[in-house]
Amino acid sequence: MLDPVLVKIDDDLPNALDRLQTLLRIPSISTDPAYKQHCTEAADWLADDLNSIGVAASTRATPGHPMVVGHADGPGLHLMFYGHYDVQPADPLDLWDTPPFDPQLQDTPKGRVIRARGASDDKGQLMTFVEACRAWKAVHGTLPCRISFFFEGEEESGSPSLVPFMQDNADELRADIALICDTGLFDNKTPAIITQLRGLMGEEITITGPNIDLHSGMYGGAAMNPIRVLTRILASLHDDQGRVTVPGFYDGVPDLDPDLAASWSALNFDHGDFLGQVGLSQLAGEQGHTALEMLWSRPTCEFNGIIGGYTGDGFKTVLPSKASAKVSFRLVGTQDPHKIRDDFRAMVRAMLPPDCTVEFQAHGASPASQMSTDHPAFEAARQALSDEWPNAAAFVGAGGSIPIAGYFKKFLDMDAMLIGFAKEDDAIHSPNEKYDVESFHKGIRSWARILAALQNAL
């Protein structure tokens, strides 16, 4: 079943690139109201394209940009494929070497690329799956599985319509497993399936000491300085081993499964190179863990911003009234973001000198996501990816949070396989975004292999 599909994919690559370029020409910037019509245009184009391969697809209005939903019958496993058709703004325009919405095929020292805003994030990735389905349909007349398609147009602007839409249409959207194509390869030769994502809990804390800014000559030495209080609190949040000191913080942090640990170890991740690219050399996290554990399976406390007093040029002898910091925690396992928020606040309050007050502002609270990899789809997809790429595919973690995976679990009770073909140098969200033609071509072939494997896996 698979081999003629792969041949078809190879033969049809020029046409597939033409279709992607057509989609890339639509400037579907979701965050800017001036581009609203272009978002609708992209949604319509996708619905039409799905219909052209036998998927019953339509756009659905939301308070924001439309959703695209389509269904195709097929045997066995019911898959749901998610992607987003909206893109980031292209600013600053003057840093682009070619117009962001005039996609160009370019030969570079690292290979042929398609350069445009959205080429990698996420139009190119989304179309890898659509093209795999197109080829399958062309060769066999049907799709290999029952497949639902779900594209949103607000991913780059906070997805305000997503959860309400999922809740209102849960019965229609629910499938056996979700496929999400918005992530990357582990490295240029090694494909990856993300099976665990860290959660995130953010807090903004503002310490107030005196009720007005004071002169440090008049008051310095007698009045409490809120920067002093804030820095003492922040400095107490890590111990000498890089562990977070919030009481009970490690409740729910699981030991890493030995098999997973071994497979991560086999990836031979070069943390020297990873850190070296940003001018660092030392692993600064929780001591006694590997780099990939620090990034994927261990929780963190990071300081994302701090401000207080005079921060302009020169010097001002002010003793400020307020100082504040933005603090975030990456969470793993079953760590409870709400409990950690409470414990963090209690710890901060306990460190406050009598004269100071603190205000807290909550910024998000999402638990970690852990996929149940015992579903046979995971192993089947891994094998399929391994057949396409030079190195065997890996189950990996993600240090960041990809909210959609958690939403599918929470609202639709589906696990998700996060599989993508982006490369580190794709410059997503930046000028000169590109997608390697290799990512696109082998991505399409990868999905064809995965569909074949899932068809047989059931």
Q: Which of residues 318-357 bind its own copies (CB under 8 A)?
A: 318-320, 323, 325-326, 328, 330, 353-355
Q: Give min distance, CB of 410 to its own copies, in A.
A: 20
Region of 103-111, 187-195, 279-287, 438-446 interacting with its own copies (CB under 8 A): 279-287
- Residue 182 is which amino acid? D
Neighbour count for residue 381 (Cβ, 10 Å) = 27
Q: Is residue 396 a contact residue for its own copies (CB under 8 A)? A: no
Q: Which of residues 230-259 bind its own copies (CB under 8 A)?
A: 230-232, 234-236, 238
Q: Give min distance, CB of 261 to its own copies, in A.
A: 16
Q: Is residue 89 a contact residue for its own copies (CB under 8 A)? A: no
Q: What angle do CA 5, 71, 452 make, to 5 degrees?
A: 30
Q: Which is nearer to its own copies, 223 or 267 (CB)?
A: 223
Region of 142-150, 375-383, 395-403, 412-420 interacting with its own copies (CB under 8 A): 395-403
Region of 116-124, 132-140, 309-317, 379-387 interacting with its own copies (CB under 8 A): 309-317
Q: Which of residues 68-87 bind its own copies (CB under 8 A)?
A: none
Tokens of 112: 């042929």
Contact 193, 311 (CB under 8 A): no
- Residue 77 is which amino acid? L
Q: Give min distance, CB of 205 to its own copies, in A.
A: 12
- Residue 369 is which amino acid? S
Q: Give min distance, CB of 134 to its own copies, in A.
A: 33
- Residue 95 is which amino acid? L
Chosen residue from 110, 140, 215, 338 binding its own copies by CB under 8 A? 215
Four-residue CA torsion sign, 305, 309, 311, 312: positive
Q: Is residue 59 a contact residue for its own copies (CB under 8 A)? A: no
DSSP strand pairing (192-197 vs 394-398): parallel
Region of 159-167, 223-231, 334-342, 433-441 interacting with its own copies (CB under 8 A): 223-231
Rounded-to-integer distance, Cα 167 and Cα 192, Å: 30
Q: Which is nearer to its own copies, 73 or 355 (CB)?
A: 355
Q: Which is nearer to its own copies, 74 or 308 (CB)?
A: 308
Rounded-to-integer distance, Cα 121 and Cα 87, Å: 7
Neighbour count for residue 277 (Cβ, 10 Å) = 9
Q: Give min distance, CB of 13 to its own copies, in A.
A: 31
Region of 16-24, 107-115, 123-131, 270-278 interacting with its own copies (CB under 8 A): 270-278
Region of 64-72, 111-119, 281-289, 450-458 interacting with its own copies (CB under 8 A): 281-289
Tokens of 388: 């396409």
The site that binds its own copies (CB under 8 A) totals a number of residues, namely: 78
DSSP strand pairing (199-208 vs 322-331): antiparallel
- Beta bridge partners of residue 81, listed in sequence order: 149, 179
List, as one string, the DSSP characters of 343-401.
HHHHHHHHH--TT-EEEEEEEEEE--EE--TTSHHHHHHHHHHHHHSSS--EEEEESS-
Rounded-to-integer distance, Cα 108 and Cα 209, Å: 57
Region of 100-108, 141-149, 159-167, 269-277 interacting with its own copies (CB under 8 A): 269-277
Tokens of 294: 């620090």
Tokens of 40: 């609708």
Q: Is residue 119 a contact residue for its own copies (CB under 8 A)? A: no
Q: Which of residues 166-205 bind its own copies (CB under 8 A)?
A: 198, 200, 202, 204
Chosen residue from 104, 216, 391, 432 binding its own copies by CB under 8 A? 216
Q: Is residue 425 a contact residue for its own copies (CB under 8 A)? A: no
List, as one string, the DSSP characters of 145-180.
SEEEEEEES-GGGT-TTHHHHHHHTHHHH--SEEEE
Chosen residue from 16, 17, 162, 398 binding its own copies by CB under 8 A? 398
Q: Is residue 272 a contact residue for its own copies (CB under 8 A)? A: no
Residue with tokens 């994927």: 296
Q: Which is nearer to its own copies, 13 or 360 (CB)?
A: 360
Q: Which is nearer to its own copies, 214 or 385 (CB)?
A: 214
Rounded-to-integer distance, Cα 317 and Cα 215, Å: 6
Whether the bond between 63 and the residue before it is cis, its omega within 30 degrees of 0, is no
DSSP type of residue 224: P
DSSP type of residue 75: S
Q: Is residue 92 a contact residue for its own copies (CB under 8 A)? A: no
Site string for its own copies, 360-389 (x = CB under 8 A): ---xx-------------------------
Q: Which is nearer to its own copies, 70 or 285 (CB)?
A: 285
